[in-house]
Chain A
Amino acid sequence: MRGMPSAERIVKDIEFEILLGAIPRENFGDAILAIKAHQGKLREEVLETLQDSRVREAFSEVFQIQDMLIVLLQEMSRTIASLQASLPKIVNQGSPEALRPEEVTLTGWPGTGDSLPPSVEPIEINKFLRPDLLRLDLEVRPSRLPVIGKLVQSIKIALHHLVLFYVNRLGSQQAHINKMYGEQILELFKVMAQQQEQINSMGALINELLARVQPGKEA
């Protein structure tokens, strides 16, 4: 029959699904699951419209490869999350106070080399937090009209003043918001720096623990 799967195709598809299932399926992030659901829907639509069995097979292969990539992503996210969950407990053995969630926040694994991006420094942010940067000054070109030139000039100035008043008021509000953002970013930098220190100390502690464990195993 036209467009019907063969026994080999079915076995291949089953083996592929088994392969997918070899990677745990339950602990994945919602976003990745949404992508997966979308991909499933898309695949259904595409395969439904395609008539040529060879093209359909090719598309099917592509979707399967994408499935595999999604599962790999899921697995990576799961591994990262589980490492984050288990690290504080492992590292803070002996200091129970530090186990409290609000006091321990981790952003990464020491081995991944997470650190402050070299191009962004707190000083750069400070530079842009000045409120005067958002302030506009009056800039009216003198009118060249004879007789009424002065009158036009003064009307222009009055109108410009009015506009500038509101723009600068908005600007000052924006500057205030920017300042708050900036402060938060600086705060985050501080936290990140602290975390980096924590991560380094954790790495050292883990190395120490591993060193302690290894000889025991050998013995």
Chain B
Amino acid sequence: MRDYELAFSVVISTLDRADSLRVLLQALEAQTYSNFEVIVVVGPARDHTLEVLSRYEGRVRVLRCSHANLAHSRNMGLLAARGDVVAFIDDDAVPCRRWLEWLANIFENPLIDGTGGSVYLAHPSQPIIQFRIGIMSSLGEQMDVRSSWLERLTSPPGDGREWFARVMGCNMAFRREALLEIGGFDEFYRYVAEEADLVFRLVRAGKVVFPLKEAPVYHFPASSQYRKSFTNIGKWWIQTRSMVYFAIKNGLEAGDSLSSIIRRCFHLVHGHFLWYTQLLTKREWGLRQYIQGCMGEIRAFFSGILNGFFIPRRLIQPSMQTTSLLYEHEPILRFQNEHSVFQPFPDPVTGHRPQVQLSEPPLHICLLSGNYPPMHSGGIGRYTQMLARGLYELGHHVHVITRGDKERVVVQDGVFVHTVPYQLDRYHQYKRFYNACHILNYSHAVYERVKRLVLNEGIEVVCSPLWQVEGLVTAVSGLLPVVVWLQTTFQQIAELQGIQTRDAYVEALLEQILLEKAAFLVPISSAIQAAAQGRSQKVGSIPSKVIPPGIVPVPESEIRPFDIKCRSAPFTVLFVGRLEKRKGILDLFQAIPRVVERFPDVRFIIAGADNSVHDGFQKKMGINYPAFFMRNYSKYASFVDFLGEVTDEQLQCLYQSCDIFVAPSLYESFGLVYLEAMNYAKPVIGCRTGGVPEVVEDGITGVLVEPGSPKALAEAILSLLNSPEKMHEMGLAGRQRLLKKFTYTAMAKSFEGVFRETVLAFSKSIRSVRDERNAFC
């Protein structure tokens, strides 16, 4: 336990970025560490920055800086700071929830004078890790490295250069005393490299700067007077000016040879010239822009040379520090108030914050989904997206972990989506079981990410689909309660499709383990609930609640109920789903001739990827499903269009333009496709199996037939085709049913209750274990 709570001063320098600043201030309200003040240094602003700040009157200290100079602005913040530690963050960034808590833990070590965490570029247009531990030389050569490289700092790369650990200006913190001792930031730097220069001087003054791999800040680059974000438009010469100065000043201090310093300076300018020429040849820049850029470079080069060699550093003078010292024992003006804890988290990309009044603090939830739109759009991915969006709109802080080739964070609709890569570097003993080995390794990678999210964001609960058991390792670890969302189980699919491999056996075992380790079960239908509870007594004893999935209702203007008065021939019957046995595609193939024979004015559209390889059809018949239809039902080929896998936009158009939707699945745990068709007021035809009867009301919103009955299916299609009024009424009734029971907000509200209950039960169990341990000790 800390004897004394460190006070932080968070300094934000801002200029004409009122919207980003507003988001940052809202995000700071969610910090878990409360002993901090916020100082905003406003440059010569021309936008509504002061209006944004006026809403925080009495909570934020506002300083005015007469000219646009980042280093000067940071120095003003430093001089006004009263905290023990001064943390700097950019006005277009958002810190993780436990940012200050991390920093406070670091500064508990009295030997450390400075630190900085990683920076994620989380904007959807450019998601990358912008910075995670790096080193920089006295000449400004920089290298982002992993921490293991830092260990080799005694013999770093570079010929005799002095290298030091660097931090990024967007996410850094220093002891106030240490900064004042070295005179703060060098005010020659208007932009770029002021933080590197500061760290260099700190290290040379014998201070310890210890960078962190965690404590991330999410960066959403906004345009400034020097650059237009996500474009090549900018005054890039400002970088040359700063870096030439940096190389000269610090190179000389570090004892680098004059020739290497000059070479480095020319290298910097040369690099920019090459880039400008490239932009010109690619026609991204015009000739005028090119000339302006080149002139700017020359000017910046000479300015850097002149100031570097002949003008002393512009640091805070000791006389200026006296003002700061006068206030150093005054208590800080705390930023957070009693309402802060109830504030929903803003969407850093759009600046939108859900307009809800929370009576309890928002939940911090992590949803798992191996596929997630827009990268992949499988059923579970879409369910998860809807749930994430619904929970965000209810004011909760939502993180999604999905599969990806690189580690990234991107914010979509207010939800933080983390992509996690994985390798087969664990569970070697399961390599004989190909799928199970992949599942276990990915689940472990997910667990590692969840651990980091707990550390950085204070996640309280994890929700995992049963499919692919992504939350298995997290559930086994006992780190957090795992709510398992039950869709069709692998075991059911294996039984339906007759899969009896060793791999399938292990996969079914993994499912069983996750079910037994779950803190709460959320089946998507009563049918699934019954199937899961029947698997074992242990699973039956886990609390559960059926929550049907929900979707976003399309606006009324977009729905297309069947038009009885004016309709265009031919009628369109749409099938959406993977082409596989379970989805009843063979039944549909058999039904098509019966329909066409009696009602020739009809077209069948079949959208979905062929899955004949995985369901064993290809092996058995030697051809895929579309080829099978063309061969066996060639007479009816002109009545059917196989579209293959379609995009989301195409799918919406297909739903909108069809007359009847049909999905004769032999088993569906729920059937999102029916809802999607009902969304556009279309009558649906399905089978009386699994969760389908819970979605489709037979005779009211659609027609249900027995599974595996092509004749009944054909009759159902014909009954609707012959009765346009019925099509119209059923479509509208389906739409009403959706609005009443199956919206994403209704789903999110039900989940909210489950999550709160689970978090409460988990914290109680943790507390009781702790009490037991204490009693034992």
The yes or no answer to A142 lying at the interface (CB within 8 A) is: no
The yes or no answer to B774 lying at the interface (CB within 8 A) is: no
Are B110 and A90 neighbours in the complex by a CB distance under 8 Å? Answer: no
Are B203 and A216 neighbours in the complex by a CB distance under 8 Å? Answer: no
Are A7 and B509 neighbours in the complex by a CB distance under 8 Å? Answer: yes
Q: How far is the CB of B124 from chain A (nearest CB, A)?
A: 28
Bound Cα distance from A101 to B150, whole angstroms: 13
The yes or no answer to B448 lying at the interface (CB within 8 A) is: yes
Given contacts A18-B473, A26-B148, A40-B428, contact A213 B154 (CB under 8 A): no
Are A96 and B513 neighbours in the complex by a CB distance under 8 Å? Answer: no
Bound Cα distance from A82 to B152, whole angstroms: 9
Are A104 and B147 neighbours in the complex by a CB distance under 8 Å? Answer: no
With a CB–CB cut-off of 8 A, which chain B residues contact A213? 110
With a CB–CB cut-off of 8 A, which chain B residues contact A40? 425, 428
Q: How far is the CB of B506 from chain A (nearest CB, A)?
A: 7
Are A217 and B3 neighbours in the complex by a CB distance under 8 Å? Answer: yes
Are A5 and B154 neighbours in the complex by a CB distance under 8 Å? Answer: no
Q: How far is the CB of B197 from chain A (nearest CB, A)?
A: 15
Contact stretch, chosen from A9-17, A114-122, A150-158, A179-187: A9-17
Bound Cα distance from A5 to B433, whole angstroms: 10
Contact with B along A48-60 (1 / 0, CB 8 A): 1000000000001
Given contacts A14-B440, A26-B146, contact A7 B153 (CB under 8 A): no
The yes or no answer to B427 lying at the interface (CB within 8 A) is: yes
With a CB–CB cut-off of 8 A, which chain B residues contact A105? 154
Contact with B along A83-97 (1 / 0, CB 8 A): 011101110111110
Contact stretch, chosen from B204-212, B577-585, B729-737: B204-212
With a CB–CB cut-off of 8 A, which chain A residues contact B151? 27, 78, 81-82, 84-85
Bound Cα distance from A153 to B90, whole angstroms: 94
With a CB–CB cut-off of 8 A, which chain B residues contact A144? none
Are B502 and A1 neighbours in the complex by a CB distance under 8 Å? Answer: yes
Given contacts A26-B146, A85-B151, contact A10 B206 (CB under 8 A): no
Bound Cα distance from A21 to B477, whole angstroms: 11
Q: How far is the CB of A203 from chain B (nearest CB, A)?
A: 15
Contact with A along B446-473 (1 / 0, CB 8 A): 0110000000000000000000000011
The yes or no answer to B444 lying at the interface (CB within 8 A) is: yes
Which of B152, B155, B476 has the most C-beta atoms of chain A within 10 angstroms of its own C-beta? Answer: B476
With a CB–CB cut-off of 8 A, which chain B residues contact A60? 429
With a CB–CB cut-off of 8 A, which chain B residues contact A139? none
Q: How far is the CB of B253 from chain A (nearest CB, A)?
A: 9
Chain A 28-75 interface residues, beta-carbon cutoff 8 Å to B: 28, 40, 43-44, 47-48, 60, 63
Contact stretch, chosen from B156-164, B311-319, B752-760: B156-164
Q: How far is the CB of A162 from chain B (nearest CB, A)?
A: 49
Are B506 and A4 neighbours in the complex by a CB distance under 8 Å? Answer: yes
With a CB–CB cut-off of 8 A, which chain A residues contact B473? 14, 17-18
Chain B 487-545 interface residues, beta-carbon cutoff 8 Å to A: 502, 505-506, 509-510, 512-513
The yes or no answer to B111 lying at the interface (CB within 8 A) is: yes
Are B472 and A48 neighbours in the complex by a CB distance under 8 Å? Answer: no
Bound Cα distance from A27 to B432, whole angstroms: 30
With a CB–CB cut-off of 8 A, which chain A residues contact B3? 217
The yes or no answer to B628 lying at the interface (CB within 8 A) is: no
Chain B 590-625 interface residues, beta-carbon cutoff 8 Å to A: none
Q: How far is the CB of B30 from chain A (nearest CB, A)?
A: 28
Picked from A78, A82, A99, A217, the residue with its CB within 8 Å of the CB of B204 is A99
The yes or no answer to B629 lying at the interface (CB within 8 A) is: no
Chain A 134-165 interface residues, beta-carbon cutoff 8 Å to B: none
Q: Nearest chain-B residue to A17 (Cβ)?
A: B426
Chain B 357-394 interface residues, beta-carbon cutoff 8 Å to A: none
Are A21 and B506 neighbours in the complex by a CB distance under 8 Å? Answer: no
Are A94 and B206 neighbours in the complex by a CB distance under 8 Å? Answer: yes
Picked from B154, B254, B502, B506, the residue with its CB within 8 Å of the CB of A84 is B154
Q: Nearest chain-A residue to B209 (Cβ)?
A: A89
Are B513 and A99 neighbours in the complex by a CB distance under 8 Å? Answer: no
Q: How far is the CB of B453 from chain A (nearest CB, A)?
A: 15
Are B160 and A102 neighbours in the complex by a CB distance under 8 Å? Answer: yes
- Chain A: number of interface residues, binned into ranges: 35 or more
Q: Nearest chain-A residue to B440 (Cβ)?
A: A14
With a CB–CB cut-off of 8 A, which chain B residues contact A17? 426-427, 444, 473
Q: How far is the CB of B160 from chain A (nearest CB, A)?
A: 7
Q: How far is the CB of A75 from chain B (nearest CB, A)?
A: 13
Given contacts A43-B428, A84-B151, A102-B160, contact A14 B203 (CB under 8 A): no
Are A88 and B444 neighbours in the complex by a CB distance under 8 Å? Answer: no
Which of B148, B427, B444 has the most C-beta atoms of chain A within 10 angstroms of its own C-beta? Answer: B148
Q: How far is the CB of B490 from chain A (nearest CB, A)?
A: 15
Which of A93, A94, A105 has the most C-beta atoms of chain B within 10 angstroms of its own C-beta? Answer: A93
Are B431 and A44 neighbours in the complex by a CB distance under 8 Å? Answer: yes
Picked from B152, B154, B427, B502, the residue with its CB within 8 Å of the CB of A4 is B502
With a CB–CB cut-off of 8 A, which chain A residues contact B290? none
Are B447 and A18 neighbours in the complex by a CB distance under 8 Å? Answer: yes
Given contacts A5-B506, A27-B148, A84-B151, contact A11 B428 (CB under 8 A): no
Picked from B162, B206, B430, B506, the residue with its CB within 8 Å of the CB of A100 is B162
Are A14 and B476 neighbours in the complex by a CB distance under 8 Å? Answer: yes
Q: Nearest chain-A residue to B201 (Cβ)?
A: A96
Are B429 and A47 neighbours in the complex by a CB distance under 8 Å? Answer: yes
Bound Cα distance from A101 to B205, whole angstroms: 15
Are A92 and B476 neighbours in the complex by a CB distance under 8 Å? Answer: no
Contact with A along B100-127 (1 / 0, CB 8 A): 0000000000110000000000000000
Chain B 416-447 interface residues, beta-carbon cutoff 8 Å to A: 425-432, 440, 444, 447
Chain B 1-24 interface residues, beta-carbon cutoff 8 Å to A: 3
Q: Nearest chain-B residue to A14 (Cβ)?
A: B476
With a CB–CB cut-off of 8 A, which chain A residues contact B148? 26-28, 78, 81
Chain A 164-204 interface residues, beta-carbon cutoff 8 Å to B: none
Q: Nearest chain-A residue to B150 (Cβ)?
A: A85
Bound Cα distance from A74 to B203, whole angstroms: 29
With a CB–CB cut-off of 8 A, which chain B residues contact A125? none
Bound Cα distance from A90 to B506, whole angstroms: 53
The yes or no answer to A76 lying at the interface (CB within 8 A) is: no
With a CB–CB cut-off of 8 A, which chain A residues contact B153? 85, 101
The yes or no answer to A129 lying at the interface (CB within 8 A) is: no
Bound Cα distance from A19 to B110, whole angstroms: 31
Q: Nearest chain-A residue to B513 (Cβ)?
A: A7
Bound Cα distance from A90 to B210, whole angstroms: 11
**Top 10 A-B residue pairs of the complex, sorted by shortest distance between their CB atoms:** A81-B151, A93-B206, A27-B148, A96-B204, A14-B476, A85-B151, A94-B206, A89-B208, A40-B428, A18-B477
Q: List 14 A-B contacts (CB under 8 A).
A: A5-B429, A7-B512, A10-B506, A13-B427, A15-B476, A18-B447, A26-B146, A27-B148, A47-B428, A78-B148, A81-B152, A85-B152, A94-B206, A96-B206
Apart from A5-B429, A13-B430: 18 A-B pairs, beta carbons within 8 A: A1-B502, A7-B509, A7-B513, A14-B473, A14-B476, A17-B427, A17-B473, A26-B148, A27-B147, A40-B428, A47-B429, A48-B431, A60-B429, A85-B151, A88-B154, A89-B203, A89-B208, A100-B162
